[in-house]
Structure 1
C-alpha cells in the first residue's frame, strides 16, 4: 500500500487540545500497559441520551437489547423532512474502541462521533454497549454484536423514534477493538444468515474498520518502529488489552487477534470492507496483512490511508483527517446501500 514505507518521519504536530487529552489517557496507564481504573473512570465522562434534536438535528435514545446481560445500544437518528422522512434509512451498527476493556457507548467521544456519523451520512447509528473484559472475555463482545443484529432483524427500532431503517442496507463499523469486533460479527452473521430459519431480513451491505485492532505473537516492523511514536497507544498497552480479552492462557496468535493468513475463514456473503489506516499507528502492519488476506480471498476491500494519523485520530474533530474519514464513510455507504442515497 502506498504511503506506508518506513521513513522514520517525526510524529505529526498535534493541537494542544489533543495533546492534553492524550496525556490524560497516558496518565491512566501504568508502564506495563495496565489501567489505573480509578483515574480512567474519573476522565471517562459520559453523555446522556437526548431525545431532543441537537444543533445538527440528531436525536438519541437508549434501547435495551438483552436486560439479562446488561446489553443495550444508543440509537442516533437524523433530522428528516419531506421525501426523506418517508424513506427507510441505512443503518450503521457501531462498536466503540478501547481494547475490549475501556469506554462505553455513552462515553463523550463516542457519543459525539456517532452524532457526527449520523448527521453527515444521513443514517441511523446504533452504538452497541457490548460487555467488557476482563469480566467478560472472548467471545462476549462478539456474542453481543450478533445479538444486536438479531434484535434489529426481529424488532427493528422503536416506533417513537419516527424513522424507518432499511435492513437490507446495514453496515457495521468500529474503531480499534471495535473494528476487530465488526470483522468477527460480520463473519458470524454472513456464515449463518443464508441458512437461518426463519430467514433473516437484515443484510450486511458493508463494514468500515477504522484502525482495527489485530495482532499476533510476532512483532511487526511497524510495532517496533512506532511503539513510542504516540501517546495514544503502545505495545505494552496492546499486550495488556489482549491479556484482558483473550481466553485465559491464550496467546496473541488466537483467531480473535491474528486475522490474517490462510487459516482465516471468510464466508461467501462476507460484505465489502473499508479499512482506514494511519501512518503513525503501530497496528498498521497487521492491518495491511488483513487487507491482503481479504484480497487473496477475493473480497472487495477499499483502503483509505492517512499518512500523518495517530491511533485514535477519528475521535478528535479538530483533526482534519477525522473529517476526511467521515466523508469517506459517507461515500462508502452511498456506494453500497441498496437504495443509493441522494
Structure 2
C-alpha cells in the first residue's frame, strides 16, 4: 500500500501547535478547563464529587478522582477505573472540560470510582514517559492510606485500566507492564480487565481505513503521523512496538490470558484507526484472551466524547462488561 500522506491538510494547523527550535511545542489551543468539585461542594445538582491529588512533584503528574455521591451513603464499595485521556500523547489533561464531563458522567452511569491520571506530554517527554507515569499512578492507587476516598469507598479487588485514543494505547501498554509485574507488587489492587476506547495505534504500511481517511478534515493520517513523530523515541518508525502492537508483546499477552483479564475494545468504522483496532482484537483472540469488541457503523474519532447520547450507550456496554466479571 502507498505510504503517501495527504498534501492538502497542514497537521500543525489542524492541531493548533508550533514546533519550536528546541524541540518543544507551543500549544495554541486554549481548551476550557473545569475545576474539581470536592466534598465541600454546595452544588446539590452535582451527583459526582471530584478531587485533584499530586502524584509526583518532580514530574508534575497528578490524578483527578471522581466519587459518586451515592457512595457516601452506602456500605458497598465501588470498582475503580484508572483512566487516561487522549490527545495523541501531545495534548490535553484530566481537567480539560470535555474529559472532566465524560469521566463525571461515566462515574455516575457505572457507579464506579474513576481515577483520571495525567501524564507527561510529548515531545518534551517522549514515550515511554507516559507509560512510566501510568505505572506510577497504578502503584499509587494501592496505597489507600494516601487518600480517604479510596480507603473508604474503593474496592481495590475490582480495578479496570481504561483509556481513550492515546489513552487507550497507554492502557494497553500499562496492561502489558502490569501483567509482567509480580502480583504482590500490585496488592491489594487486583486488575480485572482493560477498556480500550478507540485506541491509538499505527504502522508504516497504510491500512484501508487510513487510505479512506487521507483527506478527512477531522483526523486524517497526516495528523496521526505527526503525533507519532513527536511522541515516539527519536530514530524509530511507526512499526515500533509502542505504535504497532502486531507481532509484539506475545509473552505479556500470554500472562494477561493466564491472569484471566478481559479486554473491551471499542471504536467506529468512520475512524481511520478502525482497521488497527480490529487487528488488535484478532491478535488477542489468537492468544485466547477474552475480548469484547464494540465497533459502530459510521461515526468518527472521539465520537463518545462529543456526543453524550453515544457516550451513554457506551456506558451501558461498559456496565455489562464490568459487572458480570465480578
Instruction: Pick the TM interval, shorter chain.
Output: 0.7 to 0.9
Q: 1:104 to 1:161 in 2, by over 3 A?
A: same
Aligned residue number for residue 201 of structure 1: 188
Q: Tell me if the contact between 1:214 and 1:286 (Cα under 8 Å) persists in the aligned partners.
A: yes
Structure 1 CA distance for aligned equivalents of residues 299 and 220 of structure 2:
15
Secondary structure of the corresponding residue to residue 335 of structure 1: helix
Aligned residue number for residue 296 of structure 1: 286
Confirm whether residue 237 of structure 1 aligns to residue 227 of structure 2.
no
Structure 1 CA distance for aligned equivalents of residues 26 and 111 of structure 2:
37
Aligned residue number for residue 227 of structure 1: 214
Q: How far did 1:218 drift?
A: 0.5
Aligned residue number for residue 4 of structure 2: none
- TM-score, structure 2 normalization: 0.87
Confirm whether residue 92 of structure 1 aligns to residue 81 of structure 2.
yes
Confirm whether residue 129 of structure 1 aligns to residue 118 of structure 2.
yes
Aligned residue number for residue 20 of structure 1: none
Q: How far did 1:251 drift?
A: 0.4
Structure 1 CA distance for aligned equivalents of residues 131 and 89 of structure 2:
11
Q: Tell me if the contact between 1:217 and 1:251 (Cα under 8 Å) persists in the aligned partners.
A: yes
Secondary structure of the corresponding residue to residue 114 of structure 2: strand
Find 2:198's aligned residue among 187, 211, 220: 211
Q: 1:245 to 1:306 in 2, by over 3 A?
A: same
Structure 2 CA distance for aligned equivalents of residues 249 and 161 of structure 1:
41
Structure 2 CA distance for aligned equivalents of residues 64 and 39 of structure 1:
23
Q: Tell me if the contact between 1:34 and 1:237 (Cα under 8 Å) persists in the aligned partners.
A: no
Q: How far did 1:314 drift?
A: 1.2
Secondary structure of the corresponding residue to residue 142 of structure 2: helix
- TM-score, structure 1 normalization: 0.83
Unpaired runs of at least 5, structure 2: 1-8, 19-24
Structure 1 CA distance for aligned equivalents of residues 325 and 145 of structure 2:
21
Confirm whether residue 35 of structure 1 aligns to residue 17 of structure 2.
yes
Aligned residue number for residue 7 of structure 1: none
Deviates more, 1:263-272 or 1:102-111: 263-272
Q: Tell me if the contact between 1:309 and 1:321 (Cα under 8 Å) persists in the aligned partners.
A: no
Q: Tell me if the contact between 1:28 and 1:39 (Cα under 8 Å) persists in the aligned partners.
A: no
Q: Tell me if the contact between 1:278 and 1:308 (Cα under 8 Å) persists in the aligned partners.
A: yes
Structure 2 CA distance for aligned equivalents of residues 213 and 104 of structure 1:
17
Find 2:237's aligned residue among 246, 251, 254: 251
For each residue in 1:200-250, what CA deviation from the matched residue of structure 2 results, as whole angstroms up to 9, or x when unmatched? 211111111111001111101110012324x33111110111111110011
Q: How far did 1:157 drift?
A: 5.6
Q: How far did 1:67 drift?
A: 1.3
Q: 1:222 to 1:160 in 2, by over 3 A?
A: closer
Aligned residue number for residue 192 of structure 1: 181
Find 1:273's aligned residue among 257, 263, 268: 263
Secondary structure of the corresponding residue to residue 326 of structure 1: helix
Aligned residue number for residue 155 of structure 1: 144
Confirm whether residue 76 of structure 1 aligns to residue 76 of structure 2.
no
Tell me the number of residue pairs that the alignment of Structure 1 and Structure 2 aligns: 305
Structure 2 CA distance for aligned equivalents of residues 325 and 137 of structure 1:
31
Structure 1 CA distance for aligned equivalents of residues 117 and 249 of structure 2:
29
Q: Tell me if the contact between 2:193 and 2:263 (Cα under 8 Å) persists in the aligned partners.
A: yes
Q: 1:263 to 1:150 in 2, by over 3 A?
A: closer
Confirm whether residue 144 of structure 1 aligns to residue 133 of structure 2.
yes
Confirm whether residue 105 of structure 1 aligns to residue 75 of structure 2.
no
Find 1:333's aligned residue among 298, 322, 326: 322
**RMSD value over aligned CA atoms?**
2.3
Q: 1:281 to 1:156 in 2, by over 3 A?
A: farther
Secondary structure of the corresponding residue to residue 86 of structure 1: coil
